[in-house]
Amino acid sequence: MSSLVLLQNTSDPNGPLEGWHVGTYNPDMAKRTAVFVYCPQLEQYPYPPEHPFKTDRAQKARQIIRSMGWLDGPGIKEVHPRPASRIALRKFHTARYLHVLKSASGGKWDGQALTMGIGTSDCPVFGGMFEHAVWAAGATLMAVKAILTGQAQVAFNPHGGFHHAHPERASGFCYINDVCLACQVLAEAGRRVFYLDLDVHYGDGVAQFFYDRSDVLTCSLHEDPRVLFPGTGFVEEIGEGPGKGFCVNIPLPVGTYDMVYLNAFECVVLPIAKAFDPDVFVIELGADALAGDPLAHLQLTNNVYADVLARIIALGKPIVMTGGGGYHVDNTARAWALAWGVVTGQDSGADQNAGLGGVMLGSPDWAGGLRDRELPVSEQQRQVVSGALNATIKQVKRLIFPLHGLAAD
């Protein structure tokens, strides 16, 4: 089975996105191929030292992946991106915003920048701020190209996932919304896109942009917005107009653990994904939903990410995957390395590489390999969390399922 895609103009292999032509993508040919997008230039532009966002997470994830031998082998390729072009950035951001952002990065900023969220404690001004954002976005767009040109069925940019940025406002550590750009480029190429956001924070920038559209379905599992930034992403936010039913939110109660999370995913996300029947998945793999993250309150292990990705892979669709949140650096790096192992078919289960994780990461906390140890769940936690999440599942089904021809019961 094959389908139409856009292939890049061969006369300019590094040209803008508009220079592509129609070609054919065969999922069988790309079945075993994967692209890992890595951008060493981003290491030159760290956020301020006191900021919780640490740009070395991708580097540490790559070190683990490389030590496992997972960057080699048939069909696996590491590629280096280039900065996103202004033409590409304008698919989401306004020219005025890009000008102010670049000027602020160069040391020239004023009250207008502040009204755009630039210069706040969340989105501080620092040298190379603009360069970091456009390189990260370029890396995600490189992942998109790998999918659209048929080079790979899976492409991963651990540098990406800046889902809070808005067309004319920085927010939540995010300046350029690379995942929104990815969805937009895929949609322009005629792709039906299922955007799955696993970050503990609601991906408001992406959801709002596609809120009245049906070609991109946004689905987010995130901590209860009553207790966590950005304060939106309630069940009732389901899209409007042609997009009604194409914005799916599953708020998670404090203390959510693996079993109930997977139950929500299987009861809600999988049926909707099958009904929507996308051409491609874009996955924001924020690791801040893991237990121990300093900015959130969930109790997940990285096993849940592995299980979710395995279920998505079984649907047989191409995947563009990015990083995202994750403020316990070692846990995040290990989770992303495990995710790469799963999507490339190189991780074979919970016992693989037992005893290596703690050693490789220089941590005495856990020596059980890349996969986290199982966390205990108290009876009180089980009752409170499962009760609240079951009620949420019923509400999502009632609001969303009939709009996709699914039974709510």
Q: Which residues are catalytic?
A: 164
- Cα–Cα distance for residue pair 191/276, rounded to 1 Å: 12
- Of 135, 96, 121, which Cα lies nearest the Cα of 173? 121
Strands 3-8 and 20-25, how do they pair? Answer: antiparallel
Helix (H/G/I), strand (E/B), else coil: 348? coil
Contact 347, 341 (CB under 8 A): yes
- Cα–Cα distance for residue pair 302/256, rounded to 1 Å: 13
Helix (H/G/I), strand (E/B), else coil: 21? strand
Going 204 to 207 to 210 to 216, the CA torsion angle's sign is positive
- Cα–Cα distance for residue pair 284/266, rounded to 1 Å: 18
- Cα–Cα distance for residue pair 370/379, rounded to 1 Å: 28
- Of 356, 302, 367, which Cα lies nearest the Cα of 328? 302
- Report helix, strand and coil shares of the chain as percent, to nearest 5: 40, 15, 45
- Cα diameter, the chain: 63
**Can you give 161-227 as a three-state secondary structure string?**
CCCCCECCECECCECCCHHHHHHHHHHHCCCCEEEEECCCCCCHHHHHHCCCCCCEEEEEEEECCCC
User: What's the first-to-final CA gap in the chain, in angstroms?
Assistant: 34
Q: Which two tokens stand for residue 17?
A: 């996105």
